[in-house]
Amino acid sequence: MQGLGCEVIAFDTQPDPVLAAAGVTYVALNDLWPAVDIISLHCPLNSHTHHLINANTIAQMKPGVMLINTGRGGLIDTRAVIDGLKNKTLGYLGLDVYEEEGDLFFEDNSNRLLQDDVFARLLTFPNVVVTGHQAFFTREALTAIANTTLANITYFERGELTRMCLVN
């Protein structure tokens, strides 16, 4: 985003000194919501981040904010996001992930009726783009996944289970 001329403001429980040195400003999470025009989620899903984006956090955001989620579907409360789109607090939404994506994104459903009413509602907005869990599908990401898998097999074969690799 800096390459596009944007000032980058971030929240992280463990700020990265390399990013800070590159000009990324770290702020408290509650200070982030009203300060930014674009929110891009890059965090794991756990008990602290489940529905990180919800009615309360959306109410704190600038009107017209763009929300992008390429992390995990459960980071956002989809019904609250729909309300935010309807009341125009959220101006744009980009989703590569969806909380109930298992039955939607991994097989050809083009000849079936869509059974997920919440997802169907998302698709009615002209300012919503859903890419169907494709953000990982780059040469670099697939190479990293393959390398991690091969390293883990090697560690397992050697009995070095404590050296297992993890990729977010």
Supply the residues annotated as catalytic. 72, 101, 133
The count of other CB atoms within 10 Å of the CB of residue 29 is 12
- Token pair for 49: 């981040």
* Backbone dihedral angles phi then psi of residue 94, each to the nearest 5 degrees: -120, 120
In the numeric block, the tokens 């919440």 are attached to 118
DSSP the chain: -GGGTPPPEE--SS--HHHHHTTPEE--HHHHGGG-SEEEE----STTTTT-BSHHHHHTSPTTEEEEE-S-GGGB-HHHHHHHHHTTSEEEEEES--TTGGGTSSS--TTS----HHHHHHTT-TTEEE--S-TT-SHHHHHHHHHHHHHHHHHHHTT-GGG-----
